[in-house]
Structures are given as structure tokens and as C-alpha cells.
Amino acid sequence: MLSLRESVTIIVFAVITLLISPFALAATTHNITLTAETLPNGQIAYAMAGNEAVIPGPTLFVKEGDTVHVSLTNNTSNTVGFKVPDLAQSGSGQINPGKTKSYKIKANKTGSFVYHGNSNGKELLGLFGAIIVDKAHGPIDSYVNGDGSIIPVKANDIDKHFVLFMVGSTFWGTEIIPDVAHQKPLWANPNPGAVENDIVRFHILSIGPGHTFHLHAHRWLKTGTSEVIDTKLLEEGIDTHSFTIKAGAGVGPGHWQYHCHLIAHMEAGMHGSFIVDPAGGDGASLVGASPYGNILLGTKPNEPGVVTFEVSDEPASWFRSARGDAIVELSKPSAAGSPLQGADIKTRSLEVISPGSSVNFIMSDTNGAHTISSLLWPTGAQHMPFDQTSAYRGGGFVTLHTPGLYVFTCKVHPYMFGAVIVDDPDTEGLDLGNPQSNYTIDLVTGIKNLPTSSDLAVRLLKTFFIATAPDNWQDYSSGQWNVTFPNLPLITSGGVVNLSALLNINGQALSVGPAPQKFGVGEVWINTQFEKTAGKYKPGTSTVVDATTWTVKRKVALPQINNNNPHNMWSNRDQSVIYQTQWFDNKFSMIERETGKLIKNITVGYSPSHVVTIPTTDDITIAINGENGISVIPAGTTQVTKMMPTQDHGHISANPHGHWISADGSKIVTPNINTHDIGIYGASGGIHARTPTGNNAPGAHPIAIGMMPDSSKIYAANLLHHTLTVLNGETGALIKTINLIADYNPITGAFTDGDENNDPEAYGILPIQSPVSPDGKAVVIASTGGQIVIVDTATDKIVKSLPCDPGCHGANFGAKQGGGYYAYVTTKFGNRLTVVDIDPNGDGDISKAEIAGYVSLVDNAGTAKDDMVSGLPGFGGQGVLAVPNVYNGWVQNLPAYWKEGLTTAQQNPIGD
């Protein structure tokens, strides 16, 4: 008698044989049992009748007119489904974990069709497969012979099928040999193989962003025509294309590259080789990276593995490991029996793999455009730095060979972090740098051979483990800040050390601190970009502080539009409307200031960052950070009429971020993060000047502009170069580069006076927003390393730095009651507003600048709300806007109501 296992194996073999056999003409109904499973790397996939789950899922071969009954059991923790968008289907909807549901599909037309999980982006993690519907009789396709003749093909002529899914920036493949009823997973970015003159049928399917498939040296027929092609465009969403070739026809054996023909997708790793062996060869395919392979907790250590990061809009989990939740749980002290027990890994953005395994990035949970770009890597590492010249909605794929730490970011959203440690199994701890170079790393800024035990390396590690773990954020409503880092052994340039001990920060009591003694004028709007509310699944609110009482008067969540990561704001001329960008989306919102009600939600372009009006016209300009231009909405209207390019046609995108406009409205100035320069443009378009920043250092990453009130000088903060570039406002010529860390020794962490300002601890690491005060006396720089830097514009020297909470980000000026100005400074990973008085004595000496006080950004009983705060209260401080707008060029256009609250000097900040 056969065992139960043997019986199941025979049944499974029989089902697969029926589905892929060219002789199964009589079968009209197919009963398929599938399960949805979670793979070791956290991706999810379909499996057939108890077999191993595979990506893509099992390929189903049927004939036109057949019916397929699918029974699907959900063994994952997600809701899943089964949907074939282009075939007739009955039965739909999602399946909760542990449940089973049936679906019925009618093969009512021929072609290749996608089936997928219909699960809000989770299908991009691997829950997809193909149904191939062939004609019931006669040839199913034709191929182009070496002499150019067209040869018809029947099903039993096919030697091999290759199913290749184009997903994100990765190919996922399956090899199918009809004669032996065999489906072999080829996994990620494989090299399919055949023997010369084999008849091979490719099924190219795409799900998500569109792609262009190209195979070198081979040609085929455009579907349904006699037109010969070698490239096929697959449209956005779901698209498919099948074609047949004779391997090596007219060209012979070789390694023939296949890839997406879009340059950005190719450089992101979307390519492989079609290997054609000469007659007598085995035609074997080379399998790509497997979710079961050689990764932390992988089940098949002899195979190259792949870990996957979901690119997400979720706070702290912007590059979220597909199994991040599981790793966090397995590393808790209570996780008895886990190999990670006690490691206490709080971040979901860290992965560990072995040399030769790969990293896959997929944009499955974001509405924005991103790049996958290296921030740091082991010295001498292959394929580094990894970068994409254009932001797009796709992903990336890279194989890592050299042991050490790799940190990836998005150039558009540079605090997005994902880290991978490639660990040499023969070393004592996890490798933090390259063992061949004494455990050093290189940075995208041009720093090379940085010891991993250096002060700068330790600071960068702390930044990562704070930014990606909300448990480590400074919550002033809790009364205590307890930062904990993973309990993991590391090998650094200084020897073996525990990560927790290396980064240790002792717990400290937290209090919001005193509010400023003097009140401000009007309101302060803060984009608390990470704050969550109950009525939407995307994060972000605007928090409105009453500057005359220092209390939170309103929270604006806009649940009706699923307001997504609001980033920066401006107001119209009479201050009645707040303009707000949604940085991880393609939307821009107009909000009624007095009530917080939505006026209009407008599509403007991917990842809009900053908004500024032209002072002379009140037209709205929006920096489209994920693209290459400034979108313009004329005053009083609600529609984009044009996008002014920030880079010449045919050149790589500039990706502008925090722009500014001259007081006379004639110039728009942008920091171009992708081209590392400052662009000066006419208000109606046209490039006036382009000036490189950061002394031409690689990866300077200019991110925000400040401008003197008379437009005589332009200031640009260079995030990764830790500098402030000073330009001539008229010509754009470089005047000076201010090194914000001249006093800092990155190896020892010691401070000495290196910039002749007699203050050895006046410095700023990772500068971001850098406005010039309305009276032109000072530049205030929010530095994400935890400093507020004050620069005297008369000397262009740092005169002071003040402490700031982790993730110091936004800065902007507002009027102080009785005269003078406050600089309002926000932080991403703390939930209070810092108020800086740049001239507390009113004597013009800005070296006496001080913190005037703090304001909690947590809502209270008196706070008006359009949705209930459900998590991360008051966190994610990014853009900040004081109302009324008191900058030169704008303040003069205020209505009388607002001018009455300002002094004569504030109404005309640069005098007559």
C-alpha cells in the first residue's frame, strides 16, 4: 500500500502533467489546489498541492474553452486572493489567514495571463503567476528562422518554456520542460539556458510599473502579426507578451543579454543572460537568488539567497525587510528557542546575508517615486556605489560579495534607510567593514577607508538605529528617553565589540521644557509627517500652534484624501489658504487656514517637496522632487498649467528639493539633489545659471535654499557634504563654501577650533533647511545630526550652534511680538518644536542667539481635530510655516489685518 506522502506525490505529478502536456486536449475542467505561503525571506508566494512555494507561482497551461477551478488556502498572516484580470472569473475577494476560498476561471481567449493575489500591493512581493491559454488545435505560435522565414509551431514542438515576470526592477523566472512535466523555479534574475536550435517559448509578464523587454541577437513576431521585432513595451499595471524563437538562430551559441530597455531599470539590476550552448551542450539554466538561500535564518545555505526590502511610506520602515516583523519578534528576550533570542532588534530595516547573496528592493507600499542609492559600503566592495540616475516607481536588485555593512537610501527622501550586513562566516562577529581593508568603509561623499570604530562611523550607526526604530525616538509625552540598540557582536576596525555597548546612550528624563517667555505673532504650522490617525492608513498631519499662547490649536489630518506624508507648506497672499505638499505621493493640497478644511487635492507630479509663491503674482510653484521640474499653479486657480524644467532636455533629471524665490519674483533657485548643483531659473522658465556645490565633491546632495532679503546672496545646504554653499545672487557664481564640521575630527570625535570663529563646538552634521532671517542678519540651519547652526551673513562664518533633538530638519522664521524674529525648528524623531531667538537682546549680535523655549506638538483636550491621533503623536516634524509670512517681498503684500500685528521694521525688513 502506498504511503500518504507517496499518494500525494503521484497526484501532484498527475496534475502538473495534465496542465503542461500538449496532448491534454480532452481535458476541459481543471481542479487546482493552491496555498499561499510565507517564504524564509518574508516574501509570499503560491504553492501547488503541498509543494514548495515558488516565485512566480505554478504556471497553468490550459486550452481555449477550458475551465479552471482553484481552491486557495491562505497560510500567511496577510489577506490574499486569486484574480485573473483578463479572463472571465467567478468568485472573488480576499481570504483571511487560515481560511480557504474557491475561484472559477473560464479560459475564454488565448494568450498569456497574470494571476495575482489582489492584495493591495502584497502581490508584488511574489503572489503572482501565469496562466497560458493556447489554441485547442493547430499551431500555437511561429518563430523567425535564421534565413528570415516564418515557421509555424505546435505545442509539442516546444523544447522549453521560460516564464519571466518583470516586477519592480527584477525578473522572476520559471523553466518548464514539457516532455518531463517539469517546472523548475529559476528565482530572481536568472540566466535561462537552451541548446542551439532548441525551440524556446518565452512568456514575459509584468505586474506594477511598466517595462520594455529586449533580448539580444534574437527576433520574433509581434503578437498576431508578421512584423518582426526584438523589443516589446509592457504597459503600466498588468501586461503580457509571449513569443517563440529558435535558440541561436542566425547568430549561434553565446550569452545573449536580456533586460528592460529603460536605462534606469537596467542600472537598477533588471537584466540577465540567455545562455545558448552549442549542439551537444546541456543547455542548463543558471538559477538566480532564492528566497530560501544563504541569508540569516535561510533554509538552503548552499544556494545564493535574496532578502527583500519593501519601499514603504511607513514612518521608520521606509526600507522595510519583508520579514522585518518576524525578525523583531524572534529577537525579543522572550523569544525562547529562537536563534536570535535576546538580540533585541527593534528596526525592521536591517538584514544579514552571506557573500554572494542579493538584495531586492520593491516599491510595493509607496505612492511616491524613489531611487535606491548607496550611502556607505565596505571599502573595495564590488558593484559599489549602487545608484539610479532617475527616481521612478520600481525598485532595485544588487548582489553583494564583499563582507561588511551596506546602507542604502533614497536620494529624493534621504532619511530613508535600509542596511545589509554581509557576514563572513569565518569571522567572530558580524562584519562591519571589509576584512581585507582592516574593516573600513567608504561613504558616498568621497570619504574612503573610514575606520568602523571611528567617531563618524559610530554617529552614522546611531543615526540609523534611531531613525529606523520608533521605540528610540524622543517622546516628550512619556517623560523618559530610553534608547536601546541590538545586542549583536560586531567586528570593527577596533576589534570585536557588542553593538549595544558601542552605541550605548544612557536613559534620560524628558520634559518638553519651558515655553518662550515672549509670544510670537499668529500661528505656526508644522508638518508632523509621521503622526498617525485612525481614519487613514498613510501617515501625516499638520499641527497648528497658536504662537500667542504656545498651545496646539488644531490637527489637520485630511482623512478623506488619505493625506500622505505632508512635507512642506506656504500660504497665499492674504494668508487664508495653506498650500501643502505630499512628499511620498504625487498630490498637493489646498487647505482653508481658519478651519483646516480641505479645499482641493491636486495631482502635480511625483514626490512634490516644497511650495513657494511668486511674491509679485502669488502664483504657486512646487518643486517636483521625484521628477525634473517646478510645477506652476496660477494664483486663484487649482490646476497645474505647466512644469518648468530644471534640467535641459536629454540630460539626467535634476530632482529639485527646497527652492526659494527672489523678493522681486524674477528668479527661482533650486537645490538639485541629483545633479549636485544650484539652478537659477527665470520665473517663467529658462536656465540662468548652474553652480556645482560642495566643492564638486561626489554626492554633496544640496537640499535647501536660503536667500538674502535683497537677493544679493544665495545659501544652499549640502546634506551629505556637511557644508553651506554661498553664491552671488545675481550671477550664481560661487562666493564661498562654509565647512560646517571644520571643528570636528571624524576619527576621534574631538573638537578644535578649525574655522577661526573661536568656538570649537560650533558645528553642524547633515544640514537641511537653511533659511535667511527676514532682516538678512543670519542663516539658521537645522542639522539632522542634532545641531542648530547660526551663520552670520555679514562674515559668512558660523557664530554658534545650539542643541537640537534627533533628526533636526525644518527651519523657518516668524515674527516675534514687539519686534524681531523667532526661528522655528522641527525634528523628525522628537515631538516638540524648538523656538530660537537669533537676537535676544535686540542689539544685532547674533552670536548671542539662544533657544527661547519649546512647544509640545502633542494634541490636548482643547485641540480641534478632523481625525483622532492613533500613533506617533507629534512626530515627524518637517516643513514649518509661520503665519503671517514675514519675508521680504511677501510681507509687503499682507492685508491690513495681518500688518497690524507687526512692527514697522517687521513690515519692511530691509528698510527703504
Each residue's pLDDT tens digit, 221-246? 998 888 999 999 999 999 999 999 99
Q: Is 838 exposed, middle or buried (0-12, 13-18, 19+ CB in 10 A)?
A: buried
pLDDT at position 747 is 92
Which residues have CB under 8 Å from 884's CB, separation 6+?
Answer: 521, 522, 571, 575, 815, 891, 894, 898, 901, 902
Nearest to 704 by CA among 839, 833, 826, 620: 826
Percentages (nearest 5) of helix, strand, coil residues in the chain: 10, 40, 50
CA atoms within 13 A on the CB side of 543: 35
466, 470, 475, 478 alpha-carbon torsion, rounded to 10°: -120
In the predicted model, what is the mean pLDDT of residues 88-115? 93
Nearest to 314 by CA among 540, 556, 465, 568: 540
CATH of 306-509, one of 2.60.40.420, 3.40.50.300, 3.40.228.10, 2.40.50.1070: 2.60.40.420
430-440 pLDDT tens trace = 999 999 999 99
CA 497 – CA 158 distance, rounded (Å): 58
**Amino acid identity for residue 26 in this structure:** A
Outline where DSSP puts E strands in 336-390: 350-353, 358-365, 373-378
Q: What is the pTM of this model?
A: 0.93
How is residue 850 annotated by DSSP?
E
828-841 pLDDT tens trace = 999 999 999 999 99
More confident residue, 757 or 88: 88
**pLDDT tier at 757, thresholds 50, 70, 90:** low
How is residue 180 annotated by DSSP?
G
592-621 pLDDT tens trace = 999 999 999 999 999 999 999 999 999 999
pLDDT at position 11 is 34
**pLDDT tier at 752, thresholds 50, 70, 90:** confident
pLDDT at position 760 is 67
In the predicted model, what is the mean pLDDT of residues 567-588? 97
φ, ψ (nearest 5 deg) of residue 77 = -95, 0
In the predicted model, what is the mean pLDDT of residues 743-747? 89
**Amino acid identity for residue 60 in this structure:** L
* Class for the domain spanning 523-907: mainly beta
In the predicted model, what is the mean pLDDT of residues 143-151? 93
In the predicted model, what is the mean pLDDT of residues 406-410? 96
Q: Which three cell numbers stand for residue 587?
A: 498630490
Taking the CB of residue 663, how many other CB atoms lie within 10 A of it?
22
274-284 pLDDT tens trace = 999 999 999 99
In the predicted model, what is the mean pLDDT of residues 698-722? 94
How is residue 686 annotated by DSSP?
-
Q: Cβ distance 221 to 151 under 8 Å? A: no
φ, ψ (nearest 5 deg) of residue 180 = -115, 15
More confident residue, 703 or 754: 703
CATH 2.60.40.420 domain extents, the chain: 26-136, 138-286, 306-509
Q: Which three cell numbers stand for residue 313?
A: 511610506
Percent of the chain residues past pLDDT 70, beyond the cut? 96
515-542 pLDDT tens trace = 999 999 999 999 999 999 999 999 999 9
CA 79 – CA 95 distance, rounded (Å): 5
pLDDT of 82 strictly over 80: yes
Q: Are strands 306-312 and 395-399 parallel, antiparallel or unpaired?
A: unpaired
CA 280 – CA 330 distance, rounded (Å): 50
pLDDT of 17 strictly over 80: no
* Class for the domain spanning 26-136: mainly beta
pLDDT at position 21 is 45
Three-state SS for 19?
helix
**pLDDT tier at 263, thresholds 50, 70, 90:** confident
Nearest to 304 by CA among 397, 371, 381, 378: 397
pLDDT of 393 strictly over 60: yes
pLDDT at position 910 is 85
pLDDT of 24 strictly over 50: no
Three-state SS for 466?
helix
pLDDT at position 724 is 95
Q: What is the CATH number of domain 138-286?
A: 2.60.40.420
301-321 pLDDT tens trace = 999 999 999 999 999 999 999
pLDDT at position 492 is 93
**pLDDT tier at 504, thresholds 50, 70, 90:** confident
pLDDT at position 698 is 76
Q: Is 356 exposed, middle or buried (0-12, 13-18, 19+ CB in 10 A)?
A: middle
Which residues have CB under 8 Å from 912's CB, separation 6+?
Answer: none
What is the C-alpha end-to-end distance of the chain, expressed in Å?
103
pLDDT at position 614 is 97
Mean pLDDT check: name the lowest of 653-662, 730-739, 740-749: 740-749
φ, ψ (nearest 5 deg) of residue 41 = -90, 5
CA 194 – CA 627 distance, rounded (Å): 41
CA 770 – CA 780 distance, rounded (Å): 5
